Amino acid sequence: MPAPNASPDTAAGWMQNPVRLLVEQASYAYSVSDREAPDFTLGPVTFSARQREIVGILGANASGKSTLLRLLSGEFKALSGRIELDGTPPGQLPLRERAQRIALVHQESTLLFPLRVWEYVLQGRYPYGQRLRFENEADCLLAGNALEQVGAKALLDRRMSQLSGGERQRVILARALAQQPRLLLLDEPTRSLDIGGKVELMRRLRRLAEENRYTAVVVTHELNLAAEFFDSIVLLQRGKCLASGKPADVYRRELLEQAFETTLDVETNASGRPRVILRGDADMDALEANPDAAKESPSL
């Protein structure tokens, strides 16, 4: 087992594939007012991820997924336990350094004034240099590179407002890549995409993680895509961590039904990855009538 604190910047660290992101018994609590008991508690959560790995955070709405993401981004500080990115808690890093290591890919927000794609992506270079900075050639190269990696180089001169949903998603991702981060955090990146776009995004993420040695943490509702493309899953329910580990280990029927409070079934496909199957009403009736026919039902 490689030493958990081996830095990827040393030669030894590079040879091994050390753990980059370490979350150990981390917990957090919200309260609306200071005097009352917390309204919501997250944790304790434990998982870890190395370079080139993608972690999926799954759970029903309001199960604490976004809170966990904000803990990872350093916006919140864990109340107990520890969170470390390459040995340092993200919450302790100064803002600019944090932005050099962690990139959070948001859902798009409305832009008030016209902005071109290249201007938007160049903003990803902000963490490097002084506060009032002017971009240099290196910045332009990196920004162009980032756009190419998401397959959006052709969109360079277009206005952000003229892009389609999928194009905009890619450009937002490009800006995050321009930050040259080690950790990529994505909050429901496939929400407004069609199935083709979803698959494409997942494939791209996979490829980016491989080529640039990112560690990525993705909050998503897409059970099957997560199972297919991610290396590990963290399953949350009402703030509690039900399970964390490989998809095959986490996607157990009891756990999933507890997390999502609905009837689900799990199969394994040819490559060994689990698949979640939805039972329709007709299927449920048929199943009750003939329990042995479960395996033959079509899957989604």
Partner 1 sequence: MRPLTPRRIAGICVALGGALFVVVVFSLQVGAYPIGVRDVVMTLVRGAIGHWNNVPPSDRLVVFGLRLPRIALGILVGAALSVSGASFQALLRNPLADPYVLGVSSGAALGAILALAWFPHAEWTMQAMAFLGALITIAAVYFLGRRGGQIDSTTLLLAGIITASFLSAIIMFLMTTLSGRDLRGMAFWLMGDLTTPPAISLGFLFVILLIAIGAIYTTSSDLNLILTGEQEAHHLGVNVPRVKLVVYVGASLLTGLAVSVSGAIGYVGLLIPHVMRMLFGSDYRVLIPASAIGGAIAVVLADTLARTIVAPTELPVGAMTAAIGAPVFIYLLRRRLA
Instruction: Report the interface residues with partner 1, using CB under 8 A.
Output: 73, 75, 95-100, 102-104, 106, 109, 111-115, 118-120, 122-124, 126-127, 131-136, 139-140, 143-144, 156, 179
For residue 80, the 8-state DSSP code is E
Instruction: Name the residue nearer to partner 1 (CB basis): 5 or 161.
Output: 161
What are 291's two structure tokens? 């329990």
Beta carbon of residue 85, minimum distance to partner 1 (angstroms, whole number) = 14
Tell the smallest beta-carbon distance from residue 241 to partner 1 (Å).
Answer: 24
CB of 159 to partner 1, least distance (A): 11
**How far apart are CB 170 and partner 1 at their closest, in Å?**
16
- Backbone angles phi and psi of 3, in degrees to 5: -65, 130
* Residue number with CB closer to partner 1 (175 or 198): 175
Task: Between 25 and 145, name the residue whose CB sits nearer to partner 1.
Answer: 145
Please state, in angstroms and rounded to a whole number, the distance separating the CA atoms of residues 109 and 91: 25
Between 61 and 109, whose beta carbon lies closer to partner 1? 109
Give the neighbor-by-neighbor strand order of the sheet with 40-50: 40-50, 19-30, 80-85
DSSP structure string for 251-270: --HHHHHHHH-S-EEEEE-T
| Separation of alpha carbons 276 and 116, rounded Å | 41
DSSP state of 284: H
Q: Is there a contact between 47 and 250 (Cβ–Cβ < 8 Å)?
A: no
* Minimum CB–partner distance for residue 23 and partner 1 (Å): 19
* Shorter beta-carbon distance to partner 1: residue 33 or 271: 33
Q: 234 CB contacts (<8 Å, ≥6 apart)?
A: 45, 47, 55, 56, 57, 58, 68, 241, 243, 244, 250
Which ranges in 5-113 belong to alpha helices (H)?
A: 11-15, 65-73, 95-101
- Minimum gap (Å) between residue 155 Cβ and partner 1: 12
Q: Give the Cα separation of 163 and 200 in Å (integer).
A: 17
- Least CB distance to partner 1 at residue 207 (A): 23
Distance of alpha carbon 187 from its chain centroid, rounded? 6
Q: Which is nearer to partner 1, 18 or 90 (CB)?
A: 90
Specify the residue, 136 or 262, whose C-beta has the smaller distance to partner 1.
Answer: 136
